[in-house]
Structure 1
Amino acid sequence: MTSVPTVKLNNDVEMPQLGFGVFQVPDAETTAAVKAALEAGYRSIDTAAIYGNEAGVGKAITESGIPRDELFVTTKLWNADQGYDSTLKAFDESLAKLGLDRLDLYLIHWPAPELDRYVDTWKAFEKLYADGRVRAIGVSNFQPEHLERLFDAGSVVPAVNQVEVHPYLQQQRVREFDAAHGIATEAWSPLAKGGDLLGEPAVAALARKYGRSPAQIVLRWHLQRDTIVIPKSVTPSRIAENLDVFGFTLTDEDAASLSTLERGLRTGPDPDTFNAA
């Protein structure tokens, strides 16, 4: 079984650097996909309330027989549930669907700035953390300006900021801000969903050079930049392949060649304008 290195978060909790994401996986298919991931060696699973598949994730975890303390489970609070009391209620609902008595990481899914509830939401997160119901708390899709408001109003610095990151959108400003404040950066859509990244000549050339798939090359690039990644697939062979990225290392020159692909290209919403509830 592949041994996945961990990242020590700012509260000393250890989080696997490579996990399994279930974005847009129907609940009926989620259990099989997560089971395949766990069998391949993944121990970190990332879901969200809005994905509608927390129950499927929980069923896979229960049926896997893997001890709970060997797993790292993340879910996210949806925008419509932001606010102090509604956050606490939504957390209970997510935990019940997952069939768990505690969570490893809970994230505010989006800042949703027009709703302007993420500060009160963070205070509820801090309560859940203080009560020991979640081992670490963080955010998703937060820009430095959003994080600064949390610093001013709260008492706990987010452990993780999960944002869209890939060679087409490298988020250098966000990554540098996170690093300066002890926040781990986690990449969603690490392979640039819906884009042409895996067909890029630079990626294909490195795939041939290292005898690896284009996806493995890009994931390795992320890992060498100290980014946490959560690739998604429902195909067992691809799930296993995405985990098999620890037996080789890109040279500095080869890694730098991927960093020239920056386009500022988002494949998902802009956090400054996305306010769906």
Structure 2
Amino acid sequence: MKYNIVPSGKAEDPDLQYIYIFPTSFEGSEYSVAYPECKAEDILAQKISIRTFSGCSPDAVTDIENRLQEVLKKKQLKYIEQLNTLFTAGIGVFVLGIINWAIPDPLPFIDELVFTIGGGFVAWKAWNNRKRKLPKLVEQIFRYGYEGRGLEVEADSFISLLYKSIRCKIDPLTAGEHIEGMDSIEIETLWLTRYLNNQENSDSEKYSIPNLKNLILVMERVFSVEKLSKLIVKKQTQKIRNRLKICKQDTMKKTGITDSALTVYIEFYKFYKNKL
């Protein structure tokens, strides 16, 4: 299983209230996860659903849930570590203040008072938070973790279409396509004619337009398809070709997507963007 985790934008945006699983190659076990930029507990509390594709490895959803659990556990451990540090520091300062009270030193009286009272207060505050707030945090994390196992998962029609197109482009025969009697050009463009540019697949009554808008927005932010499509249609000078190559390489490195799959994403974007 090979995957990349990439942010899709701020969670405050109402169009980004999904976790997307995008195919990045021929195999359903290779994918990129695009998530809204918010805290793990917010994802679980708001029951943000997961949109995936038909043929995706079932381990993908399990892995997302496990990663959310891991983030929550790290938060709990970090909070405990902070409380322990504060408690230790408070006790240390308090003891130093007591020593200054007992042993004559050149420090003014107010310093000894601050050390004793301040250190004692910090230690008490840390101990109090450990007794009162930590159990609530543990309970909250447990509840979110339990709820996280029930995140809604839906096979998105558009992402499934992308996956079929990718498989058809990379290896149509292995993908189960019928290519008997076709010449090389027909086979090369089969993924376009059979899937992306197929009127049956692009029927607005069959697919949800709001869902398409959300998907296009996320694809623009994650896979840079808008920028890439604009570079492709420009006059191909050496400068433009270099910019296109760099942009493609950066996108492939960030998301783990293959060159063939990225080509499918760009064509999908160009075709469906005009329908919005």
- More helix per residue: 2
TM-score bracket, normalised by the shorter chain, equals under 0.3
Structure showing greater radius of gyration is 2
What is the TM-score normalised by the length of structure 2? Answer: 0.26
What is the TM-score normalised by the length of structure 1? Answer: 0.26
- More strand per residue: 1
